[in-house]
Structure 1
Amino acid sequence: MKIRNDVIKVYKDVHIWVGILSGLMLFIAFYAGAITMFEKPLERWATPPSSLAAPPPLAGAEVLLQAVLAEHPQAAKNYLIVVEPTVDAPARVIWREPGKSRRQFTEFGASFADDGSLQVEQLRKAPVAQLVDTLHQLVGLPFPDALARPIMGAVALLYAVALVSGLIIFLPTLAKDLLAMRIGHNIKRLWMDVHNALGVVSLPFHVVMALTCVVFAFHDEFYDVQGAVVYEQGVPWQRETPPGPPTPDARPLPAVELLRLAHVQQPGFEVFNFSFKQAGGQLEASITGLDTRYGTRARTYASTHLNPYTGEIDPHDLPGQMEPWDAAVNTFFMLHFGSFGGNPVRWLYLLLGLAGALLFYTGNLLWIESRRRKQRADGVPEQTRSARVLGSLTVGVSLGCVVGISATLAATKWLPQRVDNLAAWHEGIYYAVFVAAVAWAFVRGAPRAAVELLRLAALATLLIPLSSLAGVWGIGGAWHHPGMGFIVDLTALAAVPVFLAIAAYTRRRMCAGHTDSVWAQPASSQPLPPSGRGPASACQE
């Protein structure tokens, strides 16, 4: 395919600058997003064991609920009846009490002790999985949602522009260069081949991510348009008044009966819990679960309204039964979260997410190398300050994100016994490590910092399975769920040699590679040898 050189140059400039502006935030979004593909196993791995007695059978949920309401009447405002208790939802009856802000709440669970007395415990579901998801959603920005989300939307738009411009640049040599890996002395050419191959092969995935991110960032505006164009008279299920009790003394159906009716109405739908809340003096209910035959709007569940007195399910929010417009919206969420196809799709999305992070990392460094080649031709004697700053920023932000996430995950097994505000501590650990890594990259320079931070990433990641092992042995108050969470530990363990291998390669490149590269050990006082490659002695720890 023939495209004029001047057109290629324009799109190349657009691709470079758009990539630089958005690349670092997109690295955080993709790396954290890859981890969230297994958010639920991570959450269960990170949640400390409950001291509650074993939950009563589902048939006894109403007796337990009445005991809870007798001692904690505020629970009637918002409570759950859990069908199959899990590590992160260990009680048959769970209720929420509001916290300091609208989005904060405290969860409590209840059971019957051996002597028949009511046993209540504040639940401490691990917030670390939510932190990783928040980093993904807000591209790592420590700002309130109202400020960070529009920035994320702008980054997603830049991301889409970078995809289009990059494809146009690559089109003239697509047939020749697709999947070409030219291994040799020209390391920059090899990394360019890797960058191009990652971008083209995973292009459909990146297009989906870019479009869905824009939808998520500006969903309120889209919903306003949808309400004005599609539902001019208001959303049908919002116009209807929730049904009240058929008689003044009517009581909600028992959970066992609600479950039976749910199986009759929605065969194939696995019910997780029934939730109830008081709204406007009336009891409203919803049902949450999963039908693996359909992709879901949420990552691991689907939820819809339920009449607590008749057990009738309103299916308009369930995948496979939505109206066409809502099904289209659901598709955006489903494609973004990979909430279809089960674990094979989740593993595929994890790999594509990590490949995307590598795409943005290599993009910035390739720009530095290309710019240096042009400056060298113009007689500029050494790397410019702007190139060194961008190199340090790229290494610090990217590897700071990696080390920060590993560090806060490693702390999961130790914090619950020592601190009260787990969410604040996990967030504090991540951002403290992240900021320190960025500062270290500027102090040490990109090449040395890359080696050191990659080794630190290996160490921090190794601490994840070691902390679980400490929990197995009961060391220092650490804990571990028997038979659970090994996928997290094994995945972390597998990542350790990868980080060490990359660190070793980077060090070899720093020691023996071209001395004028962004990866070279700074040695401006030494003249460039005729070969363009520095001796190993020029590389110092």
Structure 2
Amino acid sequence: MKAGFRQSMAWLHTWGGLWFTWILFAIFLTGTLGVFDDAISHWMRDKGRAEAVAPLSAEARAQAVRTAQAFLAGKAPRADFWSIGLPAEDDPALRVSWREHDDGPVQRHRLDPASGELMPASQVRETEGGHHFVHMHFEFHAGTAGIWVVGIATLAMLVALVSGIVVHKKIFTDFFTFRPGKGQRSWLDGHNALGVLTLPFLFMITYTGLTIFWATYMPAGILARYDGDQEAFFSALTEGPAPRPELHVAADVAPMAPLLAKAEQALAREAAFVTVSHPGDRSAAVRVFGRFDPDADTDRLVGRSSGRVQFDAVTGEVLDVQRPNTTRGGQVLAVQRTMNALHFVRFGGDPMKWLYFISGMAGSAMLATGAILFMVKRRRHSGDAFGTATPRVLQIIEALNVAGIVGLGLSCVAYLWINRLLPLGIEARAAWEIRLFFAVWLLTLVHASLRPPMRAWREQLAAAAVLCLGLPLVNALSTGDHLLAALLRGDGESAGVELTSLAFGAMFALAWMRLGARLRTNAGAAGRQAPGHAVEGL
């Protein structure tokens, strides 16, 4: 019974893990990069050389809101929503956006806060920045469908972790055992060691990832009680104002500058942005959100918020005030917020972020070694798991391994190159960056499908190494900025992106060289043996 159970768990771990490995690797790698999404955005927007903007006075913030309201009222007087991002120290522009209809595209513009004129596209490096990796991490830019795909894969990850512990009954002993240069044995040792090293982190990050979208994954209660209206559910849970359905009665939005002043007084801090739901309708509501205070809002697992004030947009009546760093919803939401804070590493500052980054990369490597181990074991003895289609299926798995592992890494650094090479004035520039990221990733799959497996590995490793090592150079040529200048001015975010890219470039180059040496050694050994002897590379 025991042997049969462990064998069943081994089958589940191997095959269940395989079919989700490439999705999970993408989730882990992009999530790990997303730990430093703000630093990546800082580099991609070329903010390192920008002079710090002095904090705006209360009157200047009020004028900025007046400017934005006039612009939005002229462009979209009856939109689904308005959003106004006030100028900040790292971004002096007034950012406005709106959506005409509930399912329509979001329109975005950047304005001069004083004149209200559009900022020339040539002065703006429009980009999704590091937030692209965050969106890849939790929904692959596919909305609700992507959230479900990630949720199913995350559940499979939990199954793989539990079954892996069952399979490796000497798992902690194996952690201290690594035999390099032994082919399949070395990959298994590496997979085991990385799995044990990151096991607490993997369980925590996987479980907390599921809890973030608990209302989406477990909607039965909300469907039964609130007819699926999540906004109404959370409003009731947090004792906040109920959602205001559109009444289709025309009414102008009241001047928002006085509302901004009231909100800042209630929150005891400056406002960061303002939203208006259903502007032009009698149901319109204005929400003013405070600016995060690094001294007061960090290192809080529960209740980390900048606060918000909600007004009736027509009468100006205060509907709700939530003070900064306060919680609502009782212990249930407090637990869920704690899980969110653990997952998004909203505590511990940069040291904790680096711990998550290293652990995430180790987890990614664990998934990669598992996928590679599957093929290493089957290159000589493929068996007939898929009948006559077995060779073709294994060829597909080889291609998916190359594109899903090194191809994704190549695409991630290519995304940074695309940011520097795309013309600044191109329309929908941020969207084009993301489209080209996926195009590069698709090309790595095509390349891996057309080339012999070992050549595909080496060529994509070489390309990734060149892109990583060349990133500081392309930045210097395209912007005039360079790594030494960033270090001298104390711009740790820009320097950190380029130094990390150089480190990954060195690792890709080392893997390329070691794989080449291994292929030459194996080819020589195969030449001394019978013709047709299989060559094992990875």
CA contact under 8 A between 2:415 and 2:437: conserved in structure 1? yes
* Equivalent position SS for 2:98: strand
Q: Distance in 2 between matches of 1:241 and 1:387?
A: 53
CA contact under 8 A between 2:264 and 2:290: conserved in structure 1? no
Residue equivalent to 1:202? 198
Residue 348 of structure 2 aligns with an amino acid whose one-letter code is G
Q: Does residue 85 in structure 1 map to residue 80 in structure 2?
A: no
* Equivalent position SS for 1:120: coil
Distance 1:253 1:179, change over 3 A: farther
Write out aligned runs for 1:211-230 (5 A).
211-216=207-212, 219-222=215-218, 225=221
Query: Which of 106, 109, 115 pairs up with 1:107?
Result: 109
CA contact under 8 A between 2:300 and 2:347: conserved in structure 1? yes
* Equivalent position SS for 1:429: helix
CA contact under 8 A between 2:289 and 2:309: conserved in structure 1? yes
CA contact under 8 A between 2:83 and 2:98: conserved in structure 1? no
Q: Distance in 2 between matches of 1:225 and 1:317?
A: 30
Residue equivalent to 1:407? 414
Q: Does residue 61 in structure 1 map to residue 61 in structure 2?
A: yes
Deviation at 1:500, TM superposition (A): 0.2
CA contact under 8 A between 2:35 and 2:353: conserved in structure 1? yes
Query: Which of 274, 293, 298 pairs up with 2:299?
Result: 293
* Equivalent position SS for 1:447: helix
Residue 284 of structure 1 aligns with an amino acid whose one-letter code is R
Distance 1:104 1:179, change over 3 A: farther
Deviations along 1:410-461, one digit per CA (max 9) or x if unpaired, are: 1212324252121332122212211111121122222111111011001122
Q: Does residue 275 in structure 1 map to residue 274 in structure 2?
A: yes
Distance 1:525 1:275, change over 3 A: farther
Write out aligned runs for 1:130-279 (5 A).
130-138=131-139, 140=140, 144-170=142-168, 172-183=169-180, 185-216=181-212, 219-222=215-218, 225=221, 234-239=236-241, 253=258, 258-259=263-264, 261-263=266-268, 273-277=272-276, 279=278
Worse overlay, 440-449 or 305-314? 305-314
Residue equivalent to 1:6? 4
Residue 9 of structure 1 aligns with an amino acid whose one-letter code is Q
Q: Distance in 1 between matches of 2:235 and 2:52?
A: 49
Deviation at 1:392, TM superposition (A): 2.4
CA contact under 8 A between 1:192 and 1:366: conserved in structure 2? yes
Residue equivalent to 1:266? none
Deviation at 1:510, TM superposition (A): 1.9
Query: Which of 340, 344, 348 pairs up with 1:337?
Result: 344
Residue 206 of structure 1 aligns with an amino acid whose one-letter code is L
TM-score, length of structure 1 as denominator length:
0.78
TM-score, length of structure 2 as denominator length:
0.78
Deviation at 1:386, TM superposition (A): 3.4
Q: Distance in 2 between matches of 1:474 and 1:416?
A: 17
* Equivalent position SS for 1:417: coil
CA contact under 8 A between 1:22 and 1:155: conserved in structure 2? yes
Gaps of 5+ in 2: 227-232, 245-252
CA contact under 8 A between 2:238 and 2:328: conserved in structure 1? no
Deviations along 1:1-42, one digit per CA (max 9) or x if unpaired, are: xx9322221110010001111001111111111111111121
Residue 145 of structure 1 aligns with an amino acid whose one-letter code is G
Write out aligned runs for 1:425-504 (5 A).
425-473=432-480, 483=491, 485-504=494-513
Deviation at 1:296, TM superposition (A): 6.8
* Equivalent position SS for 1:59: helix
Q: Distance in 2 between matches of 1:341 and 1:29?
A: 23
Deviations along 1:274-324, one digit per CA (max 9) or x if unpaired, are: 424255144333335251031379xxx835431567999744884666621
Equivalenced residue count is: 494
* Equivalent position SS for 2:89: coil
Gaps of 5+ in 1: 243-247, 264-269
Residue 155 of structure 1 aligns with an amino acid whose one-letter code is A
RMSD, aligned CA = 4.2
